[in-house]
Amino acid sequence: MNNVRAVKLEKYMTFEVDDSLIKDKINASDIPNLYNVGIDFALEANIFYGIKENCNQYERIQNINDFDNYTVVLRLTNWCRNYNRNEYTFRVLKSNVNEQVDFTEEKRELNSYIGF
C-alpha cells in the first residue's frame, strides 16, 4: 500500500502527485520508457485540473468558466515521465469553495519569489 499524507492546500502552493490520482492523463506513449522526460509549462499554456467534493481524482478543466464547479482548481506547471511513472506538479489557484481564481494575483505572487 502507498503511503498517504494529507496536506492542507493553500493558495499558490505547489505540490507533486503521481499519475494514480489523475483522471485525464497526459499521453506520451511514443516516448520510450528508457528516457526521463520533463516539461515545464508556461503560464500561457493554461492547463488546469480540478477536484470536486467527494472525488478522489484530479480531472482536466477545459473551460475557465467551469472553475466554480470545482472545490479546488490547479494549474499544471510540470509533467515528468520517469520510466513507468508519470508525475504531475501543480500550483493551487483555488484551495477551497470560497476562493476565486485571480490570474492577476497569481502573477503578482509569482513575481514576489526570488530565484537563484
Give tens-digit pLDDT for 80-114. 887 677 889 999 999 999 999 999 999 988 887 65
Q: What angle do CA 98, 101, 105 make, to 5 degrees?
A: 115
Give the domain ranges of the chain. Answer: 14-110
**E strands within 1-116?**
14-18, 36-40, 48-51, 59-61, 72-82, 85-94
> What local confidence, expressed as pLDDT, does residue 114 receive?
57
Quick check: 30 pLDDT over 60? no
